[in-house]
Amino acid sequence: MIVIKVVLLFIMGLSFGVIVAAGVFAFITMIGIIPRFAARTNTAKHILVYEDMVIYSGIIANTINIFHIEVSVGKIGLIIFGLFSGIFVGCLAIALAEVLQVIPIFFMRAKLTKGISIIVISIALGKAVGAFYQLYLNAGP
């Protein structure tokens, strides 16, 4: 009886995980973040490699999380991982905002025509300084 319960829980967990992962990958694809990276870096011919790396990194990260595998990369590795994770999350947020046209609508309603690049850079720097303050100085929530 316990074996049947464990097998059913395994099948349900795997199925639900596949559904959630498919939704996340569909969302990333829908907002066009991978083609945007490829276009910005002039590496569009390697788009399939980008997509494969997103899938493989999702599988590896989930495996590490589920089985509590300890990965020791040191302080430098942690800094590099944090940098690239922050870049990805920032690009994801900006891509989502562009899809929803939040930024252009805000600028149009505020009647802003000059200094838009300064505002965007200020937002990015503010996020970076806030994250640094919270994570490295152990401040905040």
Residue whose C-alpha is closest to residue 94's, from 58, 119, 59: 119
> What's the whole-number mean pLDDT along residues 90-102?
77
> What's the whole-number mean pLDDT along residues 110-128?
81
User: CA 123, 124, 127 angle in degrees (round to 5)?
Assistant: 85
* CB atoms closer than 10 angstroms to residue 69: 9
pTM higher than the cut 0.85: no
Q: Could you read off the pLDDT of 21-44 as tens digits, one per residue? A: 778 777 877 778 888 888 888 998
Residues 6+ apart with CB under 8 A from 140: 130, 133, 134
Report the C-alpha gap between 11 and 16 in whole angstroms: 9
> What's the whole-number mean pLDDT along residues 101-117?
77
Structure-block tokens of residue 35: 């083609």
> What confidence tier does 140 reach under pLDDT thresholds 50, 70, 90?
low
Residue whose C-alpha is closest to residue 103's, from 81, 91, 119: 119
Report the C-alpha gap between 85 and 88 in whole angstroms: 5
Domain ranges of the chain: 1-69, 73-141
Contact 44, 38 (CB under 8 A): yes
Rg (CA), the chain: 20
**For position 141, what pLDDT does the model report?**
55
Q: What is the mean pLDDT of the chain?
A: 82
Residues 6+ apart with CB under 8 A from 30: 99
**For position 22, what pLDDT does the model report?**
79
> What's the whole-number mean pLDDT along residues 45-55?
87
**For position 27, what pLDDT does the model report?**
80
Q: Could you read off the pLDDT of 79-92 as tens digits, one per residue? A: 998 898 888 888 88
> What's the whole-number mean pLDDT along residues 62-77?
88
Report the C-alpha gap between 25 and 92 in whole angstroms: 12
